[in-house]
Amino acid sequence: MPTWLIVLIVVVAVAVLGAVIWLVTQEMQRKRLQQRFGPEYDRTVAEKDSPRAAQRELAERERRHKELDIRPLSASARERYAREWAQVQEKFVDQPSAAVSEAEQLLNSLMAERGYPTEGYEQQAADLSVRHAKTLEHYRAAHTTQQKRDGASTEDLRDAMVRYRTVFEDLLTDGADDDHDHDRSEHHEHHERRNGHDHDRADRRETERQASASPRTESNGGR
């Protein structure tokens, strides 16, 4: 077999292998993004010229999100926001339109305290999609109603409040479980240390009791 033919076969084989690896990588990327973004993946694909363009967009959102200083709320901050939300809900009874507006404002404040930029609705939605894709559709729908709240029906406004609450609770509790687990772990360690000290004291008392009893036994045996 001529040398040039061997070289050609090797080159073709390498090219085919490279193409296969690229296709497999693209498929893995697609599945990963679909799993992470859920309905937002399909929405982005529909908005872009091609699935590849959508995947680039979503990957760029992930890169941007990594640069953000996203942090969980403290327990006191969560309680404060919960109280403020309760006040907004109470206001809905008499002033539904104003309550929906305040709900979005409160949600924006919560996003800002969590570390999300609040430079505009579209960018907010893009940033939220990385970690809160499951509730993003609620945010989009509620925002649409809020924009036309003066002409919206009471039922539409009520639906917007429910949707805002879903997003609000998602942002409020995200990361809180980690803090709770940490506190619970510290409590468990303290409990174990305390129990360990109790066991040590009990062992020492038992040892001292046996030691004090031994001379009496020997003395009785001597008699």
Compute the residue count for the chain. 223
Alpha-carbon distances, residue 119 vs 29, 103, 108, 160 (angstroms): 29, 18, 10, 22
What is the pLDDT at residue 38? 83
Q: How many CB atoms lie within 10 A of CB 99?
A: 22
Q: How far apart are CA 75 and CA 153, in angstroms?
A: 36
Q: List the structure tokens of 30.
A: 């697609």
Low-confidence stretches of the chain (pLDDT beneath 70): 24, 26, 175-223
Q: 120: phi > 0 → left, psi -120 to 50 → alpha, else beta; which?
A: left
Cα distance from N-terminal residue to C-terminal residue, the chain = 109
pLDDT at position 176 is 59
Which pLDDT score, from 0 to 100, does residue 37 have? 86
For residue 101, the tally of other CB atoms under 10 A from its CB is 17
Cα–Cα separations (whole angstroms), residue 186 to 17, 190, 196, 199: 52, 6, 15, 20
- Provide the residue type at 80 as one letter: R
Structure tokens at 21: 């690896």
Position 191 scores a pLDDT of: 42
Could you give the CA distance from residue 53 to residue 30 in angstroms, rounded to a whole number?
11
Q: Give the C-alpha separation, 195 to 131, whole Å.
A: 40
What was the pLDDT predicted at 187? 40
User: What's 2's DSSP letter?
Assistant: -
Look up residue 99 and give its two tokens. 């309550």
pTM for this one? 0.68
Model confidence pLDDT, tens digit, residues 133-159: 999 999 999 999 999 988 899 999 999
DSSP structural state of residue 49: S
Query: What is the structure's pLDDT at 189?
Result: 44
